[in-house]
Structure 1
Amino acid sequence: MTTARAADPAGAPDPAGAPDPAGAPGPAGAASSRDDGAGVVARLSTLDRFLAVWILLAMAAGLGLGRAVPGLDDVLAKVETGGISLPIALGLLIMMYPVLAKVRYDRLDAVTGDRRLMASSLVVNWVAGPAVMFALAWIFLPDLPEYRTGLIVVGLARCIAMVIIWNDLACGDREAAAVLVALNSVFQVLAFGLLGWFYLDLLPGWLGLGDGENLDISMGKIALNVVIFLGVPLLAGFLTRRVGERRLGRAAYEERFLPRIGPWALYGLLFTIVLLFALQGETITSQPLDVARIALPLLVYFALMWFGTFALGKAIGLAYDRTATLAFTAAGNNFELAIAVAIATFGVTSGQALAGVVGPLIEVPVLVALVYVSLAWRRKFTPAEPAAAAAPRNPAP
């Protein structure tokens, strides 16, 4: 969020190399300053300082509402179009718009020219991610085919929404996040159905694991999901920056306008979390053992994907900001698409739908924790990087 980085009103680390509140020098690699813990906390707003608390409270509030208000989940489920929940769509749009309004779109060429980043993202998201989830689903849930199928569907739905928030909180590269999310969106439309057939129908038969599942989902529905959850906020953010810079100038736009809309990203995130858990509060709280069995492979999945991809980014020589972006785009999943596919194909009360719902239940707190892990890594190791590796990829204009 914008308030988390006092060194740059737009919320990005200061390109001139001034230390930021996360405790590490800016990307220019000035290793002379490092804030202590008290300095970091003092520069954070109340919203950002207690982010984990607000998210846990939002999850608890959603679960409580789902249990306390009879029929609330049915009411929320009916407010939808094309299988997409309108209240959740509203929350995601509010969440993504401020972050996408911060992206400096004139710098995207520097990202698309980074072949290491682009190739690594494609391999990790569309080869490694689905394969890892397939393996974990069969290892941990060999006797529960419905939950197993639901987890595989979650693994196929690569993240195009919340990853932007996690990346921003971890001081990742905003421009890289925008490009990788757009890349995932294109591949989601083209590859989701094909990979669903491969992992649910073809591969189990090849491996002698039994009969496969038929995943009936149209390319049009996936494309609609992408347009709503990425296309709309991306267009709004792009137009806001273009018009804002033209009327106010870049300095005024970033110093006066962005801090005003920045907190809305967190409001949208918390609103979305409350709705998600209210929709399935009764189901989750009434089946704790099933939730625990689904949660275990998810925990392993998020850990393997994030730490493995972070290590990959360091191994191929990416700077911290792009390494963090690569790791978060690999670890996150498009839970809205996974839930919509599970409900449309197997039914709202199916085990596959429950597995989809447990996805954000585990993903949200785990990725919040990984934001703190990422920032700790940044504080500890970024100052020691060689100047060439730490030099800003997107220099100040």
Structure 2
Amino acid sequence: MKLPGLFSRQSSSSLSIKEEVFDQGIAVSRYFFSIVALICLHGASLEYLRDNSLLLSLDLITVLFCGLALGASFLKISVFNKRVWIILILATIMLIEVETQFHDNEFRFSEPEMWVLNPVILLLIGFFLPAKPSLFIAFVSMTTAYYLGRAAIISPEDFRERGIWVVFADMTAINGFSILLNRWWFYYRYDSIRKSRLLQERVGQERESVFRDIHDHIGARIMDLRKFAEKLQNSSEWNASSAKDLESLVGQISLGIRTSISLWEDSKLLSEDVWMALRVILLKRYEFFQRKIGFEREGDSIFGLAEEDREDFLGIITELSSNDLKYGKDKSIWGMDTGSETSIRIYLRTGSKYDLKTAKEGSGKKTILQRAKNIGALWSESFEKGIYIGELTLPLSRGRSVGKIE
């Protein structure tokens, strides 16, 4: 088994997340090595009183390696190099612990003093090991293989008298549980960090979007207001016309702020429920122009629109409703059909003075067609007996199913 395979470097966005998981493990390992060092110091004092120089030396060597691991965790070196040091030291400590058990002839393996420390250490390593679960499996396999090899060279009499079979029975359960624990804990932390970063990115994107919309709607007006203020500062005249101009500029800025906030809210709602967003957007527009509007729906699926398609979708609805408010008459019916398994259909049915046969194709229709193409949708319209019907068919792949109406 080669080290480059165990500590593989990846040039992807997931690498930084894994590095953060590994860095968390390195930070926690400081507590682990401190505790193990204290336990081994206590063990060394007992071995000194028992006058067992071999076990005393093994305990002191473990304390030395724990100190080296603690020092490596605080060094200003890369996470990769820290991981190499810590994992190698962990392997050495585990092997020393096995040797300590086999050289301690005072206790049987069936007694807790002999077997309890090894699984506890292995479980703690499973919690913080700064490596992927695959390496932890290799780590456990190495420890088990060393145990089996060490037990194979002792005499059958010692094997029976010291009850080494107890360790093998215990090892099977502990090893399986520690592998499952390590895998669950690794991917739990990985997923938590990934979700946290996605949330931070989304918050940053939303903030930039709001600032951009505000700049687009009121940036030029604020510049006009500044120039107007400079003009007044250099002039001694102040009259009714100046006051009216100032009032107009302030009103345009206020309208721009309300528009940008409204657009942001509409876009946010489209990601959660297209049908709810449609009703909110259209009710505001039609009530402002005192036009009657009704809604009808087929199907009970709740559909959220993909972020990259919201701007074009809003543009289509805005253009279509503007045409209806300009040419339409009587009551307008907006509907949505989510009964299909592959697409959703959004339509407008209204009385209209607009005649498709005699009217020329304007920029509004071209805009709708282009925006529909951008979001992979199909657009169609018809006019018969004074009734205009416009339909937008959007594939489900452009969004996500949020649930069903309860």
- TM-score range normalised by the length of the shorter chain: under 0.3
**How high is the TM-score relative to the length of structure 2?**
0.23
| Bigger Rg, structure 1 or 2 | 2
| Greater fraction strand | 2
